[in-house]
Structure 1
Amino acid sequence: MAADHSQREPQGHSTLDEIRATRLEKVEQLKQLGFNPYAYRWESTHQAATLQEKYADLPNGESVEGVEVAIAGRIMARRVFGKLAFFGLQDETGSIQLYLDKKAIEAGMPDTEKAFDHLKNLTDVGDIIGVRGGLRRTDKGELSVAVTTYTILTKSLQPLPDKWHGLTDISKRYRQRYVDLIVNPEVRETFRRRALITAGIRRYLDQQGFIEIETPVLQAEAGGADARPFITYHNTLEMELYLRIATELHLKRLIVGGFEKVFEMGRIFRNEGISTRHNPEFTSIEVYQAYADYDDMMALTENLIATVAQEVIGTLEITYQGQSVNLTPPWRQVTMHDIVKEFTGLDFSQFTDLDEAKAAAKAAGLTQIDDCPSLGKLLNEAFEQKVEENLVQPTFVIDYPVEISPLAKPHRSKPGLVERFELFMVGRETANSFSELTDPIDQRQRLEEQAARKAAGDLEAQGVDEDFLLALEHGMPPTGGLGIGIDRLVMLLTDSASIRDVIAFPLLKPEKSDAESPEG
């Protein structure tokens, strides 16, 4: 059903001002006529999707006898033909047509003179309205509420655009997410699915005996990841604080304290760049289980994601940006050494000399590796440059170099490596896990190495968290830890190309800078 021509998106700032002024005049007219253009409440009996489903078999041209419904929503389209009008109404669940007949409305609202004319002349696309009436299916097949009474609930002062996905409107979709949600039902569906995904994750973990405990966002020492933190200041305490870059170290304190299965899903803050995969404020979940290791965490990860995907999507055979992905467990497990050898031909287990390894890596096409300080760092660089983007199907890459895993336990049989995995799907990291380091002496040494990097100017290296080390000295049981990037998982399960499409209100530069900061 097409919108009437008077509601097309205006061109130019002055036209917007004129439309707003006209709508303000209508607000005053409504008030003078005794209507409240900003009502207090409305009670509906049904929503659009419920009616569409319940009366899907109603034949064309027939009405439902003895049924009156009340429904509210936003006017998305208007067609007026003298004494008859058709409005498109949209609520949270979907759309339904309003069948507006002058005779029926004036009979249903005898105390309101010219009730049909007021509805026809003083409402616009974008207004929110509540109606009551019977149900009928028009001769053209549209299920419709045959309106007998109406209430204007909210008068909209701004017009809605006809076309929202134009090339120049991409950033406006994120800046004015409320309009994006109004005019694009698929965007609302993305955020509905996100809510179902997060609820499903919490439900699964609850069923496995985990409990969620909240940890501080403001921290005296940022830790748990290699990331540049946001810095703030508490005036009363006269101390510098950091927004958390991970929930890890506090959740581990809880394991020390006697909890055996804990998790937290929450916001993480990292002072880093913005891209299709990165937003400085994002959501992660971290899970810790006492008396478990990274093998247990692998099983937990694939079962958790597969269960939630089946619940929300209804299948484990999904498509992401044209690529087929099979989430059916078990997922592939492969060591970092083996997967690098598979894609590059380089067998890092054979190298003992760093310069020799760099020469071989350059011959294999690696770039910008002159500053790599160790074989472990070089191995990881080879993985990131040549392997990561090719891992479309769910793949656990296991057994990482100790140099890039300061919080993981040394591998029980492979010197120089740690018991760690990362889960890759559609070419990006989605989860990270360790057999957690429980030796406080080893942990102190690694954190002090990090602190030395920080002192040397590494903005992503962290300092020594003395309280966390004190906690470890009280004894932490063998523990498996897991972190999952919620935004990236939602991207996968909603087929969203950019992280901005799954964060309701992503961080953006001021509008005047949009042209200077294309999304990476």
Structure 2
Amino acid sequence: MEDLSVVMRERIQKAEALEQEGVTLYPNGYEVPHHIKDLVEASQGRSAQELEAAQSVSYTIAGRIIAIRSFGKSIFMHLVDADGKLQLYLQQNHLGKELYALAKKLDIGDIVRVSGPLFLTRTEELTLAVKGLVLLNKNLRPLPEKYHGLKDVEVRYRQRYVDLIVNEDVRETFRKRARIVQTIREFLSVRGFLEVETPMMQAVPGGATAKPFKTHHNALDMDLYLRIAPELYLKRLLVGGFERVFELNRNFRNEGISTQHNPEFTMVEFYQAYATYQDLMTLTEELFVAVAEAVNGGSLQVEYQGQVIDLTPPWKRYSLMDAVVELGRVPRSSLEDPKEIVQVAKSLGVPVERFEGHGKLLTKIFDEVVEPQLTQPTFISHYPLEVSPLSRKNDADPTVTDRFELFMVGREMANAFSELNDPRDQRERFSAQLEARRAGDEEAHYMDDDYLRALEYGMPPAAGEGIGIDRMVMLFTDSPSIRDVILFPHLRPEKKI
């Protein structure tokens, strides 16, 4: 591509020349009554003769010029707005000398307002015969060469505004994301869940095992943490008498960045009194089906990176131990023995920390040998107590909890459990987490005395769940990286040239 600084200098000079001619480069106050989709709908099923007979009907649209072809006394352009693309036909006889002279000075990337009737070309392309033209925004920085030239992935993420201009499929990804979020809200609302908002800055981070971001409030002279999960506040609302609540918002975790992780991400968390984790399995299946019907053309077959994912319920279910034995092909006897499981972990290349007990090692072995295999929707339940500080103990086996995680395409999609509502047990678990933190586990849960006080007032038996919205959007948009579904993902600092 031609030196960008040279092209920009030329455009700036052109802009200055237009101003000297009395053209306002950045006007405001012009109404735009139509969108391109309105014109497409208005012309649907109409012949060239019918459109020709309706030349008295004028439409006014606005958008960005993405292509220009000049033919002496006529110009063809393509214009895009939020909803589509349309061809424009500009001719001096229609516009007059002054506006046609302006049209000849327009560049790809300029934003214009045009008006006129519709017609069909000889190739039957719907076209607007431009009879009115206003420049709304003069572009100073050229779009990538040949319009679809933005291929560098990092540049696409860093300059998302350009990515959205030049890639219609990217715009469609974020339209679909909006429909997914709307569907989730409607799904929960019609089932009696109340949408609420809880603090994003917390004095005590909790609700998940993760390393938080830390900040300081000057007026209160106290440290605060960006929340890693809204869980403990949502459960306080169950104590307060709300029986079904949900929140759809951001969480922040000071962890690594990868194709599956962004330090700032979106989740929906919901809690239901008088329900169990098994009830939420059914609810989760229903939720994914509702989303598929809304954004996947009604089909429960979703294609993701060359694999067909079947969302038809019921989904497969394993306990974590059974999954490691049956799918990971690790002998049960080796997993049940505290000494042998350490050797199993080391043989698989799983790092073993001194503060990690049997339950954490079993979970890490699962992550290594089973999780990548879980392509089709699969519930994994009965997580060890050690890695589930907020989950209710299983009545039949108190070493595990009434908890499940949902996996698809080899990654976790959701986490849920029957809630621990015994304040005495919860205090003991927090104390154990505190000891793990002192031993070096930076992701161990913090002690939250106010939450314990809330439990002492009494929380009804309940179940709760968190679903990662970004990963759900990845699934339904066939996106390989979480950065593809976050408008402005976090990146390393831009290198200065």
Say whether residues 1:43 and 2:27 are aligned partners: no
What is the alpha-carbon distance in structure 2 between the residues aligned to residue 505 and residue 176 of structure 1?
Answer: 8
Q: Is structure 2 residue 99 aligned with structure 1 residue 115?
A: yes
Q: Distance in 2 between matches of 1:390 and 1:124?
A: 51
* Deviation digits for residues 459-490 of structure 1 (CA, Å, limit 9, x no counterpart): 21232100000001111000100000000001
Q: Does 1:29 align with 2:23?
A: no
CA contact (8 A) 1:271 1:280 kept: yes
Which residue of 149, 154, 171 maps to 2:137? 154
Partner deviation per Cα, 1:274-297 (whole Å, 9 max, x = no partner): 000000000011100111110111
Q: 1:366 aligns with which of 348, 359, 383?
A: 348
Equivalent position amino acid for 2:305 in 1: Q
Say whether 1:316 aligns with 2:286: no
The reply to whether residue 63 of structure 1 matches residue 47 of structure 2 is: no
1:433 paired to 2:411: no
30-39 or 79-88, larger mean C-alpha shift: 30-39
Q: Decide whether aligned partners of structure 1 residues 349 and 209 sit closer, same or farther in structure 2, where only a CA change above 3 A counts.
A: farther
1:300 deviates by: 1.2
CA apart distance, 1:450: 1.0
Q: Distance in 2 between matches of 1:319 and 1:233?
A: 45
- Residue 236 (1) aligns with residue 219 (2): yes
1:104 aligns with 2:94: yes
Retained in 2: the 8 A contact 1:227–1:271? Answer: yes
Change (3 A) 1:40 1:30: same
Q: Deviations over 1:377-414 (max 9, x none)?
A: 23212211111011111111111111111100001212
Give SS of 1:266's match: strand
User: Deviation per CA, 1:67-90, whole angstroms, max 9, x where unpaired?
Assistant: 211111000000001101000000
Separation in structure 2 between the aligned mates of residue 71 and residue 167 of structure 1, nearest angstrom: 26
CA distance in 1, matches of 2:251, 2:206: 12
Quick one: distance in 2 between partners of 1:424 and 1:477?
28
Conserved? CA contact 2:198–2:233, under 8 Å: yes
Per the TM alignment, residue 346 of structure 1 is displaced from its structure 2 partner at its CA by: 2.6
Cα distance in structure 2, aligned partners of 1:414 and 1:438: 18
Partner of 2:62: 72
Asked if the contact 1:64/1:136 (under 8 Å) is kept, the reply is no
Query: What's the CA shift for 1:50?
Result: 3.0
Could you tell me which residue of structure 2 aligns to residue 346 of structure 1?
Answer: 330
- Structure 1 residue 419 displacement after superposition: 0.3
Match of 1:292 among 266, 272, 275: 275
How many residues were matched structurally?
Answer: 493
Query: Equivalent residue for 2:116?
Result: 133
- Cα distance in 2 for partners of 1:231, 1:165 equals 41
For 2:227 and 2:345, the matched residues in 1 are separated by 36
Return the offset for 1:18: 2.3
Deviation at 1:302, TM superposition (A): 1.1
1:157-199 per-position Cα deviation (integer Å, ceiling 9, x unaligned): 1100026777972111011100000000110000111111111
Higher deviation after alignment, 309-318 or 144-153: 309-318
Measured after TM superposition, the shift of residue 58 of structure 1 is: 4.1
- 1:304-359 CA distance string (max 9 Å, x none): 12102211222211100111011122212211122111123335377543123344
* Matches of 1:130 and 1:475, distance apart in 2: 62
1:397-447 superposed Cα distances (whole Å, 9 cap, x missing partner): 111111111100001212311000000011110000010000111111111
The amino acid across from 1:48 in the alignment is I
Contact 1:294 1:481 in 2 (8 A): yes
Paired residue secondary structure (1:511): coil
Q: Quote the residue 1:109 is aligned against.
A: none
Match for 1:17 among 5, 9, 15? 5
Change (3 A) 1:80 1:308: same
Q: Give the AA of the match of 1:316.
A: L
TM-score (norm: length of structure 2):
0.95
Q: Is 1:303 aligned to 2:291, yes or no?
A: no
Aligned to 1:330: 314
TM-score by length of 1: 0.91
CA distance in 2, matches of 1:477, 1:27: 67
Measured in 2, the distance between the counterparts of 1:127 and 1:369 equals 56
| Alignment correspondent of 1:249 | 232
Provide the secondary structure at the position in 2 that maps to 1:63.
helix
Show structure 2 runs of 5+ residues with no match.
none
Moved more, 123-132 or 327-336: 327-336
**3-state DSSP class of the match of 1:249?**
helix
Provide the secondary structure at the position in 1 that maps to 2:184: helix
Residues in 2 aligned to 1:408 and 1:163: alpha-carbon distance in whole angstroms: 55
Aligned amino acid, residue 330 of structure 1: P
**Hey, what's the Cα distance between the residues in 2 that align with 1:509 and 1:303?**
39
Secondary structure at 1:187's aligned position in 2? helix
The alpha-carbon distance between structure 1 residues 251 and 137, as it changes in their structure 2 partners (threshold 3 A), is same
Q: CA deviation at 1:213?
A: 1.0
Q: How does 1:263-278 map to 2 (within 5 A)?
A: 263-278=246-261
Question: C-alpha separation between the residues in 2 aligned to 1:428 and 1:351?
Answer: 23
Displacement, 1:59? 4.2
Q: Which of 373, 391, 394 matches 2:377?
A: 394
Could you say if the C-alpha distance between residues 64 and 295 of structure 1 is closer, same or farther in structure 2, counting changes exceeding 3 Å?
farther
Tell me the distance in 2 between the aligned counterparts of 1:352 and 1:223.
Answer: 30
The answer on whether the counterparts of 1:294 and 1:420 sit within 8 Å (CA) in structure 2 is yes
User: Could you say which residue in structure 2 is the equivalent of 1:214?
Assistant: 197
CA contact (8 A) 1:37 1:153 kept: yes
Find the counterpart in structure 1 of residue 158 from structure 2: 175
Asked if structure 2 preserves the Cα contact closer than 8 Å seen for 1:74 and 1:129, the reply is yes
* Shift in Å, 1:228: 0.6
AA in 1 matched with 2:29:
R
RMSD: 2.0
CA–CA distance in structure 1, aligned partners of residues 321 and 53 of structure 2: 68
CA distance, structure 1, for counterparts of residue 107 and residue 177 of structure 2: 32
Shift in CA distance, 464/64, structure 1 to aligned 2, threshold 3 Å: farther
Relative to structure 1, the CA distance from residue 459 to residue 359 in structure 2 (aligned partners, 3 Å threshold; closer, same or farther) is: closer
1:505 Cα deviation after fit:
0.4
Partner of 1:453, secondary structure, is helix
User: After superposition, where does 1:185-196 map in structure 2 within 5 Å?
Assistant: 185-196=168-179
Other structure's SS at 2:382 match: strand
Q: Find the residue that maps to 2:327 and give its secondary structure.
A: helix
- Inter-CA distance 479–114: structure 2 relative to 1 (3 Å threshold): same
Contact 2:345 2:352 survives alignment (8 Å): no
